[in-house]
Structure 1
Amino acid sequence: MSKIPADYLPPKEIWAEYTSPAEFPVPDKLNLAEFLLDRHVKEGRGDNVAILFADQKVTYKELLATANKFANVLKGLGVEAQDRVGIRMTNAPDAVAINFAIMKLGAIPVPVSPLWAKEEVAFVLNNAEFKVFVVSFPILQPVEDSKHEWQFPTKIVVVGGKPEDVEAKGHVSFAKAIATASDQFANVMVAPWDIGVILFTSGTTGQPKGCVHFVREVFIESQIVNKYVWKLGPGEVLGGSAPVTFAAGYGTFCLVPFAGGGAISLLPRFTPDDMMSTIQKHKITVVTGLPTAYRKLLEMPNFKDYDISSVRMYTTGGDALTGKTLSQWQAKTGKPIWEGLGGTEMMHLVTSTAIGDVPMADSIGKAIPGFEIKVVREDGTTAGPGEVGSMMIKGPTATLYWKPYIQDNKLLATMKKGIKDGWNMMGDAVMMDKDGYIFFQAREDDMIKSSGFRLAPTEIEDAIIRHAAVRDNAVVGIPDEIMGQKVVAMVELEGGHSPSQELANDVIKSTMDVLATYKLPREVVFLPAIPRTPTGKIIKKDLRKHYPEYTTKFVPKVK
């Protein structure tokens, strides 16, 4: 068994408190693949469908056989318990089997986003010290381009491509390797406090940060989310298009559904027609997607051509859904979209509107059972209902950074700042009402301080999006000599509308029924599109950076 050096984790005295929900007792020894995969076959569900992919159906029994075969391959490549194995895969059944194979060895899966360029790939490979790196052939090039930067003799296993071409490059062909491997494997048992997975942040604000999650966290969180949010069981199908080797997609498609013995439907990439036809073809019962995906589906002229009657639940996260999108979706489908908040640092979901009886518009929901959430003022005292403050979380998962001492103790400092009295400080400004519903206001760095007021961009954005001509918008604070920061609304228009002084006036005037005068944007900037990350988050730092370059600016004239 590979030993994790002591300085690869922060000192225990600065860790957050990990809670242990009584309803999910953790065994003294366990194997995550045994729990998520093998268990279902042993309990007689081997013929149940585990994965749907285009015309392909993979049963639990078939998935187990592939996972066992690749576990034997990895063992032959020298992988031991707690070694790190990278996975950079397109959405396909083999990606899930490979994840379980890594778990069977007690090794540590490290998802590597298929969206990353060679610089991020090399950084994560070196930072995690991959023993083996499993890569889909179509996204192999950035991996090969980064090899000159590698600091370790990592072996590459390629999924797809011609075996002879793969081997000619000095790599291992996945297909050829498993063809002769045994489909039997004795799972390696590990301890609850061994590492279960390392998830890296998206890297939008610097190099990706490695977030460590122990075996016990994976075991508990996968059950909590399934029990209280998706409620997937045998015969149910979860569908969406998030990349399985992206942090959020990993938990969504490689962990949670398998806790309940459900099936997953994998979509290679999102297009509105592909999503709708897949719902119909695979009879998806729970849909998960970004708010932007739902908005694109709403725009489909042929929406009613598809039979989506199998769906009992729509869920979302990653960015604000908005009350406008929620109401439009309900009007079109008769069903709500349930919203939640999660994070790479906390592994997966920590809140959901599904905890309540009805979806609360513009809310990210309540704390999922097992988690505690409080909102605090800047002085550390508890904020009252309706008061904006900093969100703090405590639960069975927690923030713990990998290799905190490198780069002049950068992540150690982040840990010390982000953990307070055992609570995880998420860096989110939120408001909680008297019933426990939480309303996201902004990342704390995005809060606007204008003329002595502390303003939440989300409240202003929610007011602006109601205007019929507004397709998307983002509100930012721009430095101002008099106000400190002035409130600027960046607006993307619906088709058929053009930027004008009159439209800027009308957009701001439409918000005056819900916004106090001091919250009104002092300027409107019309843009062709609001910049977002691949996961749907607005890139506000780019908006602030490029503000001087924008030309379509109007000072609204309202009374």
Structure 2
Amino acid sequence: MTLAWHALRTPAKPAIVMGSGESATFGDLELRSRQLARALRRRGIGTGEVVAILMENNRSYLEVTWAAQRSGLYFTAVNRHLTAGEIQYILDDSGAVALVASAQMAGVVGDLDLSRVPVRISACGEVDGFESYEELLLETPGTPLDEECEGREMLYSSGTTGRPKGVQKPLPLTPLGDPTAPTVQIAAGLAMTGETSDAVYLCPAPLYHGAPLIFSMSWHRLGATVVVMERFDPAKALELIDRHRVSTGQFVPTMFTRLLRLPEDERERHDLSSLRSVIHSAAPCPIGVKEQMIAWWGPIISEYYSGTEDVGTTFITAQEWLSHRGSVGRPMETCHIVGPDGDELPPGETGLVYFEGGRGFEYHNDPDKTAAATNDKGWRTLGDIGRLDEDGYLYLTDRAAHMIISGGVNIYPQEAENILATHPEVADVAVIGVPDEEMGESVLALVQPAEGVVASEEFVAELLGYARSGLAGYKCPRAIEFVGSLPRDPNGKLYKRSLRKQYWSDRDSLVR
């Protein structure tokens, strides 16, 4: 499963199609990634070193990751929405020796100290002090490296509960395309489900996130065309599915919500019959939202739960989900629910989710965090709270770091969020714990009203009643505040830490 094989067999087939219409063939992708790989090697970047990428979604992005992948390098895709200080931390912590940045990022790049990053390359325009990506390729032959070997990603967590953590896994360093390499196994799994090079995959999310990036590259290994949106727009997504006869795609729940908010005529005027399978992940999906999506697109929407750390994975088909609504699926590894005392809990009881097995990883430069993810039995956790039912299906309740403790009672805000998110006049919602002199914390809902909806006391009362209709009283918000928007990254993850900080900054309480 290599680009070279597809470039030889179907050199003119589109490998990358941008939402704007710009494209690159498999022949282009193979040649340009070879040229960049050789250019990096000529500049002294050897196996195991780190190349950082700071760009918006563009055609060059996947050329750069494939260059690193085939060179035995780590590639660190940096969230382009971070501040200069946050980007600096990732560059320093990862030890990146090369940075590929786009002209769009020139402003933030100018605020960085790049004295420890000797190789600097600018794509899609010029950046002061950077070599031109296009000129670099023109002067470099496209012959492959003498010993091409599999590299891999080293990605940083979104930092929704604290400082980003670099997740470092062992480099495969196997020959490029070796079926035993972990980097090849997603593509192999897709092939086992019957997927072929005829597939057209829609990537509507930022490539700096793990799932969009790794799945895009995995589809390339199968010889499939990857349609990349510069940014997610619900109407544009439907138009691209129709125009390119997209057969599969990966979404996050906030994208589903925005698709469902489209006017009926917009939803109906596109032919979506080419869709064979859709998968979603990255954040909890409210039951009502998923029910509506299955009713619209049919029982083709699967779901998985995992993390960059690869400590465990679950999977559930639409058919299974309809009989286990709210579940994220059956674990592929042995799963345990553990209580506060460290003892395993029986089905139906809620606790910290642990997995046996999984692949090896460490949090880069942070042995304490690495150790904290593992208990005394060797089981590992991503820090999520959940339960298993009698059939072995996992249901996630929330992140441990998001739990609200009110009057000594544990409250998981995701439950209230899932209810309020289905209200037709709510565009987005976050539920957090805020200081309460009597109870310690009380439950507050921050609501972004849908377009045209008036934020009024009457609307507050309506939303509180709506929450109480589906939840026990103690789990419901005690108050609602309206906001213009919530701090989410484009992949749907909510930065609750920044929301909580507004209320806890002058308190003697941990801002979780």
Q: TM-score over 0.5 for the alignment?
A: yes
1:333 to 297, 313, 316: 297
Structure 2 residue corresponding to 1:320, chosen from 272, 284, 292: 284
2:395 to 439, 445, 453: 439
**Retained in 1: the 8 A contact 2:54–2:77?**
yes
Are 1:354 and 2:291 counterparts? no
- SS of the residue corresponding to residue 44 of structure 2 reads coil
Q: Which one-letter code corresponds to 2:74 in the other structure?
A: I
Once the two structures are superposed, the pairs formed by residues 279-428 of structure 1 within 5 Å of their partners are 279-301=241-263, 302-335=266-299, 337-346=301-310, 350-354=313-317, 357-358=320-321, 360-367=324-331, 369=332, 371-403=333-365, 411-420=366-375, 421-428=377-384
Partner of 2:202: 239
Q: CA RMSD in A?
A: 3.0
Give the 3-state SS of the residue equivalent to 2:359 in structure 1. Answer: coil
Q: 1:456 aligns with which of 400, 412, 415?
A: 412
Cα distance change of structure 1 residues 469 and 89 upon mapping to structure 2, 3 Å threshold: closer
In 2: Cα distance, 1:462 partner to 1:57 partner: 39
Aligned twin of 2:3: 37
Does the Cα contact within 8 Å between 2:187 and 2:219 map onto a contact in 1? no
Instruction: Tell me, yes or no, if the aligned pair for 1:288 and 1:314 is still in contact at 8 Å.
Output: yes
Q: Following the alignment from structure 1 to structure 2, what is the Cα–Cα distance between the partners of residues 386 and 440?
A: 12
Aligned to 1:181: 140
Is residue 171 from structure 1 mapped to residue 130 from structure 2 by the alignment? yes
Write the deviation string for residues 381-425 of structure 1: whole angstroms up to 9, x where unpaired: 22222211101123443441112xxxxxxx222122112232222
1:15 match? none
Q: Distance between the aligned counterparts of 1:184 and 1:238, measured in 2?
A: 29
CA contact (8 A) 1:114 1:243 kept: no
Q: 1:527 aligns with which of 478, 483, 490?
A: 483
Q: Which residue of 2 aligns with 1:272?
A: 234
TM-score of the two chains, using structure 2 as the length reference: 0.86
Gap regions ≥5 residues in structure 2: 174-179, 506-512
d(CA) in 2 for partners of 1:362, 1:443? 16
Cross-structure match for 1:479: 435
Deviates more, 1:378-387 or 1:516-525: 516-525
**Maintained 8 Å contact 2:162/2:497:** no
In 2 relative to 1, CA 467–65 (structure 1 residues): closer, same or farther, beyond 3 Å?
A: closer
Unaligned runs of 5+ in 1: 1-34, 404-410, 550-559
Distance, in Å, in 2 between the alignment partners of 1:134 and 1:471 is: 36
2:155 aligns with one of 173, 190, 199:
199
Determine helix, strand or coil for the equivalent of 1:413: helix
Indicate how the Cα distance of structure 1 residues 542 and 74 shifts in structure 2: closer, same or farther if over 3 A, else same.
closer
The more displaced of 526-535 and 65-74 is 526-535
Tell me, yes or no, if structure 1 residue 211 matches structure 2 residue 167: yes
Question: Does structure 2 retain, via aligned residues, the 8 Å contact 1:464–1:510?
Answer: yes
Identity rate of aligned residues, in percent? 26
2:21 to 32, 49, 55: 55
Determine if contact 1:355/1:366 at 8 Å carries over to the other structure: no
C-alpha separation in 2, matches of 1:70 and 1:495: 46
Change (3 A) 1:390 1:230: farther
Residue 504 of structure 1 pairs with residue 463 of structure 2 = no
Normalised TM-score (structure 1): 0.79
CA contact (8 A) 1:232 1:262 kept: no
Write the letter of the residue equivalent to 1:441. Answer: T
Pair 70,127 (structure 1): closer, same or farther in 2 beyond 3 Å: same
By how many angstroms is 1:296 displaced? 1.6
**Which of 30, 51, 61 is the aligned partner of 1:85?**
51
Cα 1:47–1:548 change in 2 (3 A) is: closer
Relative distance call for 1:171 and 1:479 in structure 2 (3 A) is closer
Q: Where does residue 509 of structure 2 map in the other structure? A: none
State the AA in 2 paired with 1:234.
Answer: S
Report the CA distance between 1:179 and its aligned residue. 1.7
Contact 2:301 2:317 in 1 (8 A): no
Give the stretch that moved more between structures: 239-248 or 214-223: 214-223
SS of match in other structure, 1:546: helix
**Higher RCO (CA 8 Å, separation ≥ 6 residues):** 1
- Which residue of 2 is the match for residue 66 of structure 1? 32
Instruction: Judge conservation of contact 2:38–2:145 (CA < 8 Å) in 1.
Output: no
Answer yes or no: is the 8 Å Cα contact 2:282–2:492 preserved in 1: yes
Alpha-carbon spacing, 1:372–1:37, altered in 2? closer, same or farther (3 Å)? farther
Give the conservation status (yes or no) of the 8 Å contact 1:386–1:431.
yes
Aligned residues: 493
Quick check: 1:385–1:432 contact (8 Å CA) kept in 2?
A: yes
What is the rounded CA distance, in whole Å, between the counterparts of 1:388 and 1:108 in structure 2? 37
